[in-house]
Amino acid sequence: MARGLKKHLNRLKAPKHWMLENLGGAFPPKPPSGPHKSRECLPLIIILRNTLKTDKTYPAGFMDVVSIPKTNESFRLLYDTKRQFCLHSLRDEEAKFKLCKVYSVQFGQKEISYLNTYDGRTIRYPDPLIKENDTIKLDLESNKIGHFIKFDVGNVVISSGAKIFIEGVQK
């Protein structure tokens, strides 16, 4: 009988975008629950083997910023054309913000508006012009919205799903 959730992951059943070797051991690190789905994230230990001294299995997802203070380097986690994760190096100004897709805009108690993003963030008092599926530029230091991009025809979009990845212009 099973007693609780599995605490391990079989290497052959791991997502293909992790780019693990088939003969590199039986069990890859299993990401704990976090802001990203387990099929849409990459454990930090796979990104930077043995350089972090914190939770090495914490999930990093699409558009997340990974910083290494010892080397003063920052990277953004993006998809390449084969839907595999790739690290894009950043300048210091670019590492201070993140682009987030808005999942929903709602009203809470006392008619306070808030929005939910794709990575599990909840931001109170957003601009009333921000709607669902828009993209916001989020300042990571203050957790405030810098500006936003409307979901309109002619914008460059990235569409991803279970087995699809499309980058192009919205029509």
Q: What does the mean pLDDT of the chain come to? A: 81
CB contact at 8 A, 102 and 133: yes
Q: Max alpha carbon distance in the chain (Å)?
A: 57
List all residues 6 or more positions away from 52 whose beta carbon is below 8 Å from its beta carbon. Answer: 44, 45
Check whether 52 has a pLDDT greater than 70: no
Instruction: Give the model confidence (pLDDT) of 79-100 as tens digits.
Output: 887 777 788 899 999 999 998 8
What is the model's pLDDT at position 95? 92
Average pLDDT over residues 69-74: 87
The confidence score (pLDDT) of residue 97 equals 92
Of all helices (H) and strands (E), which one includes residue 54?
A: none
In this predicted structure, what is the pLDDT of residue 163? 61
Min mean pLDDT across 13-22, 37-46, 160-169 is at 160-169
Q: Give pairs for 160-168: CB < 8 Å, separation 24+.
A: 160/40, 160/62, 160/79, 160/83, 162/39, 163/83, 164/83, 165/79, 165/81, 165/82, 165/83, 167/81
What integer pLDDT is reported at residue 21 of this predicted model?
72
pLDDT over threshold 80, residue 24: no
Mean pLDDT across 74-78: 88
Is the pLDDT at 1 greater than 70? The verdict is no
DSSP tag of 4: S
Domain residue limits, the chain: 11-94, 96-149
We find that the CATH architecture of domain 96-149 is Beta Barrel (2.40)
- What's the rounded Cα separation, in Å, for the pair 9 and 137? 34
Calculate the CA 109 to chain-centre distance: 29
Whether 136 and 130 have beta carbons less than 8 Å apart is answered as yes
CATH superfamily of 11-94: RNA-binding S4 domain (3.10.290.10)
pLDDT at 53: 43
Domain pair 11-94 / 96-149, same fold: no
| β-strand pairing of 144-149 with 135-139 | antiparallel
pLDDT digits (tens, 9 = 90+) for 114-169: 999 988 889 988 888 999 989 999 998 998 999 998 988 888 777 766 666 667 77
d(CA 66, CA 20): 20
- Is the pLDDT at 50 greater than 90? The verdict is no
